[in-house]
Structure 1
Amino acid sequence: MRKRVQFLLALLLFTSSLTQAQVKKDPVIENIIKEANNDSHLEKLGHELMDVIGPRLVGTPGMQNAHNWAVDKYKSWGIPARNEKWGEWRGWERGITHVDMVSPRVKSLEAMQLAWSPATPAKGVTAEVITLPDVQDSVAFQKWLPNAKGKFVMISMYQPTGRPDYNWKEFATPESFEKMKKERDAQSEAYRKKLNTIGYNTRTLPVALEKAGAAGIIMSNWSSGFGVNKIFSAYTKKIPTVDVALEDYGMLYRLAENGSKPKIKVVAESKHAKNPVPTFNTIAEIKGTEKPEEYVMLSAHFDSWDGGTGATDNGTGTIMMMEVMRILKEVYPNPKRTILVGHWGSEEQGLNGSRAFVEDHPEVVKNIQALFNQDNGTGRVANISGQGFLHSYDYLGRWLNAVPRNITSSIETTFPGTPGGGGSDHASFVAAGAPAFSLSSLSWSYGNYTWHTNRDTYDKIVFDDVRSNVILAAILAYMASEDPESTSREKSVLPINSRTGEPMPWPQVRPATRKGGVE
């Protein structure tokens, strides 16, 4: 009996020691978590980037200021960084926009000029507002066009409601909700047919109106949320293009349609550079000690549209990757592989910065161990796909296993997945055969409220979620750097295209637009 007790005691001690060995904590991972939670720089980085520098439209001084700020910030952390020129873009600088209705009463309107919009004279332009006519065909519209001379022309559909669907669903009767949706669908279809009838689309119509002598273009690109519009670019060369908030746009539209002949005064200040301006990527690196010619990459596009301050598209991805680099330099200063971060320019116009990097640095692309890209908003990471790489689960599974369970428990993974053909900068590398992965985030109403809108501002950042993403990306980068094995690039057989009956092709490498926004 005594021997049996001794045996069981020895077995218990062995099992306990084995369990302890199995759960032995990695000091680097522990320090990553500690640094991210106890000495986070995220709020300060977010303030400096979004509040002080502001939006980062390609070709603007704001974009250049951001590049210089990032280089200085990295150098202050002891991380070598540089701005790497890859092309040129149309130079433009936003100034003041002020739009007032001056008749039939006085009211300041919520409005802003679109990117690359021409300026008005210093005193502004005052003119009547008119809507597009209902005509039988494009010939009749050509006959109408002289009526646009000297007028502000409204070219967007009149929205029947400024309430998003979730608000209707919560408060309206089911019958009322369905009635509203049917009326809106009918109105949308009628607007689409109107554009087809007149023979123009939303890109070509402003140009035709400009040639006809219009005073300016008024539009409203509602984003299906309270008080939120998407802000993109103007297509006019001489007259201003202004986006007006749904509420004010609707008022002007009703006044014009009911014969009140509203007049507005538009002051739009902006500056156009005489020549294209240089465009850059910001690159920073922590040099590897054992395999310096192999790379673990962090990736986030740096540019934004300029309706807001680009906070969640992609300020959060930017400050997240900067914080990852800062923490790794602090707790893991001598990685086995080189850790490289790319802050890409002109993603919004077609992944141009990352495509240029792929073209210019084949020596890096062929030796990428893994790339982690973050783009779609402030939320904690919720999805990771293997991007079509057959054995991606083997290494991503190992690395994710080192991440705290409270972070990975809500992440859905798809292996091997399918390769991203666009959407964000990881696609530029996937097309070149490099194992590049998107850290895809929870929505936080991204599509309606912050993606490319006038409401994409600092106050929409959820810093606890971004901190979670910092820990995730830092541990993944650490694990990828330390992994004794090189990652497999073997591609899976893609699904059959139902239209062709053939397997879907792997995305092709596409060239960057190196000179943009100029004819």
Structure 2
Amino acid sequence: MRKFKKLLVFPLAFSLTIAVAQRGNAPQFRGGASQIKYPIVEAIVKEANENSQLEQLAHELLDGIGPRLVGTPEMQQAGDWAIEKFKSWGIEAHSEKWGEWRGWQRGPAHIDMIYPRVKSLEGMQLAWSPGTNGKTITAETIILPYFQDSLAFQKWLPEVKGKFVMISMMQPTGRPDKNWEEYGTKESIDKMNRERDSLTRAWQKRIQNTGHTSRTLPVALEKAGALGIITNNWSKAVGADKIFGAYTKKIPTVNLSLEDYGLVYRLTQSGKKPKLSMKIESKDLPVAPAFNIIAAIKGVEKPDEYVILSAHFDSWDGASGATDNGTGTLTMMEAARILKKVYPNPKRTILVGLWGSEEQGLNGSRAFVEDHPEIVANIQAVFNQDNGTGRVTSLQGQGFLHAYEYLGRWLTYVPREVRQHIETSFPGYPGTGGSDFASFVMAGAPAFSLSSLSWDYGTITWHTNRDTYDKIVFDDLRNNVILTAALAYAASEDPAKSSREKIVLPIDPSTGKPREWPKPVSPTRRGGLD
């Protein structure tokens, strides 16, 4: 998630006057405004703590179905599962198609070193990687060398024919920074940092001098007759690698673990001419629908005004997408389940938006904003969660001038033990990316990111092969369910419609004029097909 400069910071233990029509659920004042108790919120807390469905939902979605890469059968299966769950809770839900995506399905991958010794290697194909057509292919490895310029690269290019090409830098250490900081001397730490920085700059220059980018280089190697592409995208945590997408169309692209990539790299570098064998099973499928899952608890007084519980449903597929964004999805689904049970007749309509293809550029939420201007114009608030399993600790105003008034008012509904963790900053700046709240902010709708405590999200689980069920901290997730449900209840009940007045953005030094509010971006509606 993006980090924002904090403008005005307010503690949450402040006193506010609450004037909210409760339809028979009037707040009970006990020792001042900070002690207001709401029967509905008490019921939310009781249900969340005593009848939580989080573990079972996580098991069904993450263990049973697994990752939800856009365009895959697993994404479709997950969508069907979510609709069935919502309907079992009495919540109307449907799949809303907004585009098409390249169809693909991952299969098993077997990668072995067979010379100069035999060793099964830890690795996996990247998303959308071609397979080996049911065959086991064997070849020597070659390292992308340093070139003075693109002409030298073109002259060398025939050397890759029939070989596996290694195109990533070999890391100088497989130990995470925290390990070095705990056990290293100042001299050894400084030396390691200098070496790694120098190697990183040199490798970037190596890629640049080919005349290609990291996206176009694999394609050039494929066209020159390479048999496969080998990469390593280490996440700086033991055993964790970032697993993104392949750019090749006919030959496999695989990520080897830091340890095995380094092994093969060193053997290649020292002239041992290692040979690898691969059998990569994946298959292209017919074009698949790209969709969002939309669920609704209809409002009874203002049905055409909306509170949206927002999370992206898709994931990368290196693991099961547990904390990115299974946890956000589970939070919003569980909050909706509880609200339907204890608050079945909200004043405003409560929507749940589980967005598709966030990972490729917020496409699902951008499509929703583009396709539903009538909803966007009447949004009371969007609450989005998408940065891991931790309890929410930060909420900022996204550049809406009066967000401190209504967010502050709604936060007083939240139990003290939940809101005590949260630091607010107002008015903040409008988000332009990072997650789906930005799609709504750019359209001028009040949308807010429920930003979470790290739990080393960036290194251990974000887009990695280690983003699995066991990384979920369910106590923090229950905290977030209570927060989300209480905020949704408060926003729904508020007699006032939330203000959309925006701040005047700072001066742009290049023009001498105030910056403009970011404009909505259209989604990619045909992924991997053009």
2:68 is the counterpart of 1:56: yes
SS of 1:339 mapped into structure 2: strand
* Closer, same or farther: CA 349–24 of 1 in aligned 2, 3 Å: closer
Deviation, structure 1 residue 195: 1.4
What corresponds to 2:160 in structure 1? 148
Code of the aligned partner of 1:82:
H
Please name the residue that 2:97 is paired with: 85
Alignment partner of 1:137 out of 138, 149, 154: 149
Select the residue among 315, 319, 327 that pairs with 1:308: 319
Q: 1:434 to 1:17 in 2, by over 3 A?
A: closer
Q: Find the counterpart in structure 1 of residue 57 from structure 2.
A: 45
Task: Name the CA distance, whole Å, in 1 between partners of 2:169 and 2:287.
Answer: 34
Query: Which range moves more in the overlay, 41-50 or 198-207?
Result: 198-207
**Residue 473 of structure 2 corresponds to which residue in structure 1?**
462
Which of 343, 349, 356 in structure 1 is aligned with 2:354?
A: 343
Please give the per-residue CA displacement for 1:179-223, whole angstroms capped at 9, x wherever unaligned: 111111111111111112222221111011101100000000111
* Separation (CA, whole Å) in 2 of partners of 1:24 and 1:403: 10
The structure with the largest helix share of the pair is 1
What residue in structure 1 maps to residue 207 of structure 2? 195
Closer/same/farther in 2, CA of residues 37 and 18 from structure 1, 3 Å limit: closer
Matched, 1:239 2:251: yes
Q: Which residue in the other structure is 1:419 paired with?
A: 430
What's the CA shift for 1:136? 2.6
Of 386-395 and 130-139, the range deviating more from structure 2:
130-139
Distance change (3 Å), C-alpha of 1:211 and 1:33: same
C-alpha displacement of 1:22: 8.4
**Greater alpha carbon shift after TM alignment, 400-409 vs 329-338:** 400-409
Q: Are 1:383 and 2:394 counterparts? A: yes
1:19 CA displacement:
4.2
Deviation of 1:17 (Å): 9.2
* Compared CA separation, residues 413 and 18, structure 1 to 2 (3 A): closer
CA–CA distance in 2 between the matches of 1:42 and 1:18? 32
Deviation at 1:498, TM superposition (A): 3.2
* 1:241-260 alpha-carbon deviations (Å, 9 max, x no partner): 00000000000000000011
Sequence identity of aligned pairs in percent? 68
Report Cα offsets for 1:458-515 as digits up to 9, x if no partner: 0100000010000000000000011111111111111222333322211101111111
Residue 224 of structure 2 is matched in structure 1 by 212
Distance 1:17 1:155, change over 3 A: closer
What is the CA–CA distance in structure 1 between the aligned matches of 2:136 and 2:517, rounded to whole Å?
52
Corresponding residue for 1:277? 288
Q: Distance in 2 between matches of 1:412 and 1:496?
A: 27
Report deviation, 1:139.
1.3
- 1:159 is matched with which residue? 171
Of stretches 25-34 and 403-412 in structure 1, the one that deviates more from structure 2 is 403-412
Change (3 A) 1:17 1:24: closer
Deviation string 1:78-125 (CA, Å, 9 cap, x unpaired) is: 111000111000000000111000111111111000000001031321
Deviation at 1:228, TM superposition (A): 0.8
Q: Distance in 1 between matches of 2:34 and 2:274?
A: 75
Counterpart of 2:9 in structure 1 is: none
Structure 2, unaligned stretches of length 5 or more?
Answer: 1-27
Q: How many residues align?
A: 503
SS in 2 for 1:235: coil
Distance 1:150 1:484, change over 3 A: same
Distance change in 2, residues 1:209/1:402 (3 Å): same
Matches within 5 A, 1:397-412: 397-412=408-423
- State the match for 1:7 in structure 2: none
2:195 maps to which of 174, 183, 194: 183
Q: Distance in 2 between matches of 1:176 and 1:122?
A: 48
Q: 1:106 aligns with which of 118, 125, 137?
A: 118
What displacement does 1:20 show?
A: 8.1
User: Hey, what's the Cα distance between the residues in 1 that align with 2:382 and 2:324?
Assistant: 19
Q: 1:440-455 counterparts in 2 under 5 A?
A: 440-455=451-466
Matches within 5 A, 1:365-376: 365-376=376-387
Distance 1:112 1:21, change over 3 A: closer
Matched, 1:169 2:188: no
- Which SS does the other structure have where 2:179 is aligned? helix
Offset, 1:408: 1.2
- State whether residues 36 and 413 of structure 2, in contact with CA within 8 Å, keep that contact through their aligned partners in structure 1: no
Label 1:181 to 1:24 Cα distance change in 2 as closer, same or farther (>3 A). closer
State the one-letter code of the partner of 1:147: E
* DSSP-derived class of the 1:84 partner: strand
Q: What whole-Å deviation, never above 9, does each CA across 1:34-53 have from its counterpart, x for those lacking one?
A: 00000000000111111000
**What is the aligned counterpart of 2:107 among 92, 95, 106?**
95
Q: Which residue of 2 aligns with 1:288?
A: 299
1:266 counterpart residue number: 278
